[in-house]
Amino acid sequence: MEILRIGIPGVHPSTRTIESTVKTYGNKAYQLAYHMTGSSADAEDVVQEAFLRLFRNWSSVGGSRHLPAWISRVVTNAALDLLRSRQSRKRREAPMEAGALEAVASARRSDRPDSRLDRAELQERLSLALAELSPQQAAALVLFDHEGLRAREIASILNVAEATVRGYVHEARLRVKECLEPYLAGRLT
Amino acid sequence: MKSAKPFCDKIRRTLNSYYDDDLSLFMRRVVQKHLSSCEGCRREYALLQMTVETIRRRGAPDVPPRLLKKIIRQFTDPGPGGDPFPRELRGGGWLDGLQRT
């Protein structure tokens, strides 16, 4: 029975390994999940699911030096699953209104003709813009621009071609830029 | 007078790669030269830079300590009947058999 309690090396992580992995990577996992989902509650669900997938596939991790990459992979995939299910639910419950975001932006523009926006509002706009992206675009953008991963690494995580990742990032940046432009333009010198 | 718009459109399609330093040296110089003389494209590039900076600066809260405790407990607490192998981690195959013996 002892072998089960401490874990089977290479197959099942020991209690000590579980504790140190969760403590070491919990914050990184949570913040990545938060950036992708835009919600604390969703980030909590994603992180729990991600650690479940990580520990279930422990034999595939292949050593602690691969852990950071594995954390990014399992968190991203758990977040993608959540975002996809959320999108399909949204589509079923209320078809997405085309241009809804632009309508909000226009309303704000007229409220604030000087186009100046404080940091909190800009973050709010960014969250809205990210929420309008496809799950794949949002994941690629967060991993590329926020986490600093290379296109090749993201391609491996998302299981798509490197050129597809670049396409996602390009399109996502353009869409976010369009949403933020009314506010950022006022800051141009 | 010939419009500069079509060329500007071409340049603007490369701004993303220019920002990522993902252009050939030749194309990089073409974009640089154009940006130095076209105010509209310079504005587009500045907006792109600000957009990416805004994304990079986006903050996130720290993980709630109770969540970490919950996850650790989930995977380390004995299962029902003092089972030392957390139910969540039981996979298929020979591990299940090992568990039952």
Domains of chain A: 1-96 (1.10.1740.10), 97-189 (1.10.10.10)
Confidence category of residue A40, pLDDT binned at 50, 70, 90: very high
- For chain B, the residues whose C-beta falls within 8 A of a C-beta of chain A are 16, 22, 43, 46-48, 50-52, 54-56, 58-64, 67-68, 70-72, 74-76, 84-85, 88-89, 91, 95, 98-99
What single letter denotes the amino acid at residue A154? Answer: I
Q: Decide which of A129 and B86 is more confident.
A: A129
Assess whether pLDDT exceeds 80 at residue A132.
Answer: yes
The rounded mean pLDDT for chain A is: 83
The answer to whether the Cβ–Cβ distance between A126 and B58 falls below 8 Å is yes
Confidence category of residue A145, pLDDT binned at 50, 70, 90: very high
Confidence category of residue B100, pLDDT binned at 50, 70, 90: very low
Q: What single string gives the DSSP state of each residue in chain A? A: -HHHHH--TTTS--HHHHHHHHHHHHHHHHHHHHHHH--HHHHHHHHHHHHHHHHHTHHHH-SGGGHHHHHHHHHHHHHHHHHHHHHHHHHHHSPPPTTHHHHHHHHHHHH-TT----HHHHHHHHHHHHHTS-HHHHHHHIIIIIS---HHHHHHHHTS-HHHHHHHHHHHHHHHHHHHHHHHGGG--
With contacts defined as CB-CB under 8 Å, which chain B residues touch A145? 52, 55-56
Measured between CB atoms, which of B56, B71, B91 is closest to A145? B56
Tell me, what's the pLDDT at A59?
A: 85
- The predicted-structure confidence for B29-79, as pLDDT tens digits, reads as follows 999 999 999 999 999 999 999 999 999 999 899 999 999 999 999 888 876
Tell me, what's the pLDDT at B89?
A: 60
Confidence category of residue A189, pLDDT binned at 50, 70, 90: low
Confidence category of residue B1, pLDDT binned at 50, 70, 90: very low
Token representation of residue A127: 């969250």
Mean pLDDT over residues A184-189, rounded? 79
Looking at the predicted complex, does its ipTM rise above 0.95?
Answer: no
- The predicted-structure confidence for A7-36, as pLDDT tens digits, reads as follows 455 567 888 999 999 999 999 999 999 999
The pTM of this model reads 0.78
Give ∠ CA A78-A80-A45 in degrees, rounded to 5: 40
SS3 A171: helix
Contact predicate A18/A55, CB 8 Å: yes
Mean pLDDT over residues A118-139, rounded? 89
User: Does A66 reach chain B within 8 Å, measured CB to CB?
Assistant: no
Tell me, what's the pLDDT at A9?
A: 52
In sequence order, which ranges of chain B are alpha helices (DSSP H)?
5-19, 25-37, 39-57, 65-76, 94-100
The answer to whether the Cβ–Cβ distance between B62 and A5 falls below 8 Å is no
The answer to whether the Cβ–Cβ distance between A34 and B61 falls below 8 Å is yes
Show me where the domains of chain B are located. 5-57, 65-100
Assess whether pLDDT exceeds 80 at residue B99.
Answer: no
- The predicted-structure confidence for A62-102, as pLDDT tens digits, reads as follows 777 889 999 999 999 999 999 998 877 766 555 444 454 55
Assess whether pLDDT exceeds 70 at residue B4.
Answer: no
The answer to whether the Cβ–Cβ distance between B51 and A180 falls below 8 Å is yes
Mean pLDDT over residues A41-49, rounded? 96
**For residue B49, what is the nearest residue in chain A, using CA coordinates?**
A177
